[in-house]
């Protein structure tokens, strides 16, 4: 475990050094996108009631975490794969999981300020009254981990040239065809049934209920299901990473 | 020497890919502490494949690999801890400077902060890359990137260090510095396994070597062992005025039985490449061969000639042949027997 933490810390430092010049740009763009989604949604749908506003706000936050974990991260991994950098990393004496975790931390760091901005803009724009739960941070971290787990899985399983296509598909589903920005009831039954097995709606629910906790309390089912997806994603990734040609 | 096992023991390793391609075919070798072992061969001879199996990126189809006496195939994580490697692929240096990358890698390999800093300073100095030590990777030349990757592996080497084509893109002066560092690693007790297709440089740097051809070890031993009976021979290289004359000289040189005028005495194969002719000559026959060459030059058929000790490269080319290589010049090489 000490070895694990040590290599994790050193890999994290390496990653920090690697992105230090781009980090301000990443942060700025990610923050702008997060604020833009809220404003954009309100243009798309002029009359927004309190429930819809809550869905759109938490949806914007969820979509930005999904973008970072399932789109940006796999694309960067695919680039590294094409450059042959993965074989270099594979020859290093560090755990595969530490390597993935050190990567994921960077993406969460990139996403976090954007989330705060989204909340702020939403409160101002929609006059939302929120009751933020202490589970918000764990929820955000878990959703990030789940998104990154699935994202890495895409990056390692799919051929690099196809990664861009698959991630585009993911983002379209997340934005429009997943019960993230609206309740599942609006979907046809079969689609709602499919989403009971996918992580999207649970990610949205976890974020939604922790920024505005329902009277019945924050449901735990989403946390369980996202954890399962995280374990599945990282498990498959780890197997592919350690598989020896 | 006693009962201490070699740091790296490779025994009868076979690596077969789908479609039955054998990248390694019954390869056995061992590298001891303090030894620099060279792995020579054409592109695609199976050198990198062997290294990848040692660190668990690839898995042997058959055979055993032991690192410090322990099974590296069963426990690749152990192998990665015990040995550091400079892969042939470029190191991930985007956004980080050579000094940062070398220090971080040393620390990842287990060095404490002080030692990592100290080793980084030593290597930056020894390889003469101080000028770029603080420049980030994307602005570095290929040679400096390669030297940085070398230093990343050499900073905290473990018991076994493996370098895969470490001198690619590196300028001649810094190549020498690099070879000196390779020697220093061995002197400090590391086992060094070195992959290269640069035979001339390897000859000076390695204690023992294996020549791989299409996955098989075709020769193994010290450079002197490999030279064997060629040790007391010299290589005559003649540049003729044109290729027709070169062929004619080769025929003349090789075609005469010993004793007629001495020039053909002790000949091996005479090889013609373009207008160059090369042949090996027994040391005892050297004087007559020299006279013959001088005659030809006086006659205006030869521009220049030289005698050199038979090099490892000559032996390498003879063993491996030129068909597997991608050297343009080899294609019109003709053996005149």
Domains and CATH numbers, chain B: 8-221 (3.40.50.300), 228-336 (3.30.70)
Contacts of B110 in chain A (CB under 8 A): 93
Every domain of chain A and the residues it spans: 2-242
Alpha-carbon gap, residue B48 to B302, rounded angstroms: 42
ipTM of this complex prediction, to 2 decimal places: 0.82
User: Is A245 an interface residue toward B (CB < 8 Å)?
Assistant: yes
pLDDT at B153: 96
Note whether B215 and B22 are within 8 A (CB). yes
pLDDT at B269: 67
Sheet holding B22-31, edge to edge: B22-31, B8-16, B62-67, B70-71
pLDDT at A87: 78
* DSSP 8-state symbol, B2: T
Task: Look at A135-149, A231-245, B103-117, B305-319 and tell me which has the smallest mean pLDDT.
Answer: B305-319
Share of chain A above pLDDT 90, in %: 43
* DSSP 8-state symbol, A94: S
In chain B, the residue whose alpha carbon lies closest to the alpha carbon of A242 is B57
In chain B, the residue whose alpha carbon lies closest to the alpha carbon of A84 is B89
* DSSP 8-state symbol, A183: -
Q: What is the DSSP secondary-structure string of B47-96?
A: HHHHHHHHTTSS--SEEEEEETTEETTT-HHHHHHHEEEE-SSPP--TT-
pLDDT at B248: 87
Contact A18 B59 (CB under 8 A): no
Contact B90 A88 (CB under 8 A): yes
Contact A88 B107 (CB under 8 A): no
How many beta-carbon contacts under 8 Å exist across A and B? Answer: 68
pLDDT at B263: 43
The two structure tokens encoding residue B150:
């070398």
Provide the chain A residues 151-210 that lie in CB contact (below 8 A) with chain B: none
3-state SS, residue A66: helix
Q: What is the mean pLDDT of chain A?
A: 89
Alpha-carbon gap, residue B213 to B193, rounded angstroms: 17
pLDDT at B91: 86
The mean pLDDT of A47-74, rounded to a whole number, is 89
Centre a 10 Å sphere on the Cβ of residue A46 and count the other Cβ atoms it contains.
6
Contact B108 A84 (CB under 8 A): no
pLDDT at B3: 60
Q: What is the mean pLDDT of each run of 10 residues along chain B (337 residues)?
A: 78 89 92 95 88 92 95 93 90 91 95 96 96 92 94 95 93 94 95 89 88 90 82 85 88 53 49 85 85 91 88 78 45 34
Q: Tell which residue, A70, A75, A77, has the closest CA to residue A96.
A: A77
The mean pLDDT of A89-111, rounded to a whole number, is 85
Note whether B125 and B142 are within 8 A (CB). no
Backbone angles phi, psi at B240, to 5 degrees: -85, 170
pLDDT at B328: 36
pLDDT at B1: 47
The whole-model pTM stands at 0.81
User: Is B58 an interface residue toward A (CB < 8 Å)?
Assistant: yes
């Amino acid at each position: 475990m000490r070895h694990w933490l040590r290599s994790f810390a050193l890999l994290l430092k390496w990653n920090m050094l690697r992105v230090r010049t781009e980090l301000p740009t990443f942060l700025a763009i990610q923050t702008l996108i997060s604020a833009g989604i809220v404003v954009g949604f309100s243009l798309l749908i002029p009359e927004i009631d309190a429930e819809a506003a809550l869905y759109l706000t938490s949806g914007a936050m969820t979509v930005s975490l999904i973008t970072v974990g399932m789109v940006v991260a796999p694309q960067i991994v695919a680039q590294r794969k094409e450059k042959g950098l993965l074989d270099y990393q594979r020859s290093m004496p560090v755990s595969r999981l530490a390597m993935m975790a050190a990567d994921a931390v960077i993406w969460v760091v990139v996403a976090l300020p954007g989330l705060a901005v989204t909340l702020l803009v939403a409160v101002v724009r929609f006059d939302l009254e929120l009751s933020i739960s202490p589970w918000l941070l764990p929820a955000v971290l878990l959703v990030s981990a789940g998104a990154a787990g699935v994202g890495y899985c895409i990056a390692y399983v799919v051929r690099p040239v196809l990664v861009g296509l698959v991630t585009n598909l993911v983002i379209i589903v997340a934005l429009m065809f997943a019960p993230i920005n609206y309740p599942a009831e609006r979907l046809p039954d079969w689609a709602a049934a499919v989403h009971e097995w996918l992580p999207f709606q649970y990610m949205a629910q976890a974020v939604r209920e922790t920024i505005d906790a329902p009277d019945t309390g924050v449901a735990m089912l989403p946390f369980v299901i996202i954890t399962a997806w995280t374990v599945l994603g990282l498990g498959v990734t780890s197997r592919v990473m350690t598989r020896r040609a | 020497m006693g009962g201490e096992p070699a740091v790296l023991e490779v025994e009868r390793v076979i690596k077969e890919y789908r479609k039955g391609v054998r990248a390694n075919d019954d390869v056995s070798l061992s590298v001891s502490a303090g030894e620099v072992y060279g792995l020579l061969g054409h592109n695609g001879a199976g050198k990198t494949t062997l290294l990848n199996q040692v660190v668990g990126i690839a898995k042997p189809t058959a055979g055993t690999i032991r690192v410090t006496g322990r099974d590296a195939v069963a426990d690749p994580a152990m192998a990665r801890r015990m040995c550091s490697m400079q892969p042939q692929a470029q190191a991930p240096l985007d956004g980080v400077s050579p000094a940062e990358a070398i220090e971080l890698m040393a620390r990842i390999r287990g060095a404490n902060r002080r030692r990592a800093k100290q080793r980084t300073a030593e290597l930056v100095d020894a390889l003469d890359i101080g000028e770029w030590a603080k420049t980030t990777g994307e602005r570095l030349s290929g040679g400096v990137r390669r030297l940085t990757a070398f230093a990343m592996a050499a900073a905290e080497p473990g018991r076994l260090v493996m370098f895969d084509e470490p001198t690619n893109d590196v300028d001649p002066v810094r190549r020498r510095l690099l070879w000196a560092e390779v020697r220093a690693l061995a002197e400090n007790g590391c086992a060094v396994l070195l992959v290269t297709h640069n035979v001339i440089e390897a000859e000076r740097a390695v204690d023992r070597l294996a020549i791989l051809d299409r996955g098989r070890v075709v020769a193994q031993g010290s450079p002197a062992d490999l030279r064997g009976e060629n040790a007391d021979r010299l290589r005559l290289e003649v540049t003729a005025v044109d290729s027709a004359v070169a062929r004619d000289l080769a025929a003349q040189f090789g075609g005469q039985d010993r004793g007629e005028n001495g020039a053909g005495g002790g000949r091996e194969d005479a090889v013609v490449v373009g207008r160059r002719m090369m042949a090996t000559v027994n040391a005892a026959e050297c004087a007559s061969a020299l006279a013959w060459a001088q005659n030809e030059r006086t006659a205006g058929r030869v521009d220049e000639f030289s005698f050199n000790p038979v090099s490892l490269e000559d032996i390498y080319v003879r063993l491996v042949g030129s068909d597997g290589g991608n050297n343009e010049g080899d294609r019109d090489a003709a053996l005149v027997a």
